[in-house]
Structure formats: C-alpha cells, structure tokens
Amino acid sequence: MIKKIFFQSIFLSFLFSMEAFAAESGGMPQLNPEFWISQIFWLTITFGILYVVLSKLILPKISSNLEIRKLQIVENIEAAEKQREQSELNIEEYEKIVQNSKGEAKIYFKQAREQLLKSINLKKDALDKELNEEIQKAESEIQELRDKAPEKINKIAVETSADLLHQLIGAEVNNSSISAIVDDLSRRKMNEYYGN
C-alpha cells in the first residue's frame, strides 16, 4: 500500500514537472542561434590555441621523454647483459685456473712421489748391498769356523783321550796313534753331524 502510494506520487510528480517544462521552456536552448557565432568563434580560438600549444610544445616533449626513458632502459639492460657476460667470462677463467692448478698439483704430486720412490729404492739398494756384504762376511767367517772346527775338535779329542788313557791305565800313549783313531772316527761321524 505504502509502496503503491510512493510510486504513484513519483509518477504524478513526473507528470507535473513535465507539464511545467512544457509551459516554461521554448524548446531546446541549443537550437537558439543567438550565440552560435560566438560559440564557433570561441571554439576556434580555444581549440586552435590548445592544438598549437600541444602539438608544438608539449607533445614533442612527452614523446622525447618517453623515447629517452625507453633508451635509458634499453641501455641499462644492455649494460646489465654486458656485465653478466663479463662475469660469465670471469667464472670461466676462474674455472680454468682451478683446473690448471689441479693439473699442476697432480704433476707435482707425481714428481714428488717418483723422487721419493727413487730415493727409497736407492737407500734400499744400498742397504741390500750392505746387508749382502755383511751376510757374505758372516758366511765366510762361519765357513772358516766350520772348516777349522773339526781340526780343533780332533785336537781336543786327542788331548782328552790321552789324558783319559793316562789316568785310566797310567800309560803314556803315543799322540800320533790316538790322533789316527780320532781322525778315522771323526771322518766317519762327520757325515752324521754336518750332513755333507
């Protein structure tokens, strides 16, 4: 109900106001030619000035501003690109250096190892030689000792058997006959003791 009254009142007021316009106005002011010439005149002047100032002063400036900015950005990008390339080159160089020094280090290591091995071998050879000499010396001494041993043993055996005989039977026995027996025995037993 309230809504209905509300819209009715809007409609009525619209009608009234339309009537009022119809009574008051003599049509559109736009069609009144009184100030047409004045409007054309001022339009020409203002738009003309606007066009001239914009086209001669302001627009070229904006255009150059935009151009300069674009150039600057392009330049900056180029500079950044150049620096990036430079840094890539630097990295490459650095890696090369690292590679080279690694190789060099390997060579040094190898050389040092070889030298060390050589010196070790030399020392080892010298030591071997010394040892061999010692061994030979010792062997010859042993051989000498071994060669001399049966004689001494025989001698001791002869003396001991002579003493024994003297104490047992109280008779002096000729040394030469005892030594003959000892020699004979020792020759027989030598094979058992020395195995040669």
Partner 1 sequence: MATNPMHQFEVYRIGPEIKLGAIDISFTNASLFMVISSLAILLIFNLGSKKNSLLPNKVQLLAELSYSFVSKMISDTAGSKAKPYFAFIFSLFMFVLFCNMFGMIPYAFTVTSHIIVTFILASFIFIGVTIIGFMKHGLGYLKLFVPSGVPAVLLPLIVVIEIISYLSRPVSLSVRLFANMMAGHTMMKVFGGFVISLGIVGGWLPLSFSVALTGLEILVAFLQAYVFAILTCIYLNDALNLHH
d(CA 114, CA 105): 14
- As given in the structure block, the two tokens for residue 131 are 């040892």
The number of beta carbons lying within 10 Å of the beta carbon of residue 120 is 10
Question: 195's torsion region: left (phi>0), alpha (psi -120 to 50) or beta?
Answer: left
Minimum CB separation of residue 18 from partner 1 in Å reads 9
Torsion of CA 75, 76, 79, 83, to 10 degrees: -170
Residues that bind partner 1 (CB under 8 A): 6, 9-10, 13-14, 16-17, 20-21, 24-25, 27-32, 34-44, 46-47, 49-51, 53-55, 57-59, 61-66, 68-69, 72
- As given in the structure block, the two tokens for residue 149 are 């041993």
Question: By C-beta, is 54 or 138 nearer to partner 1?
Answer: 54
Minimum CB separation of residue 87 from partner 1 in Å reads 25
Minimum CB separation of residue 57 from partner 1 in Å reads 8
Minimum CB separation of residue 72 from partner 1 in Å reads 6
Question: By C-beta, is 30 or 196 nearer to partner 1?
Answer: 30
Question: By C-beta, is 70 or 123 nearer to partner 1?
Answer: 70
Question: By C-beta, is 46 or 99 nearer to partner 1?
Answer: 46
Minimum CB separation of residue 7 from partner 1 in Å reads 9
d(CA 102, CA 108): 10
Helix axes 175-194, 59-169, angle to 10 degrees: 150
Question: By C-beta, is 42 or 193 nearer to partner 1?
Answer: 42
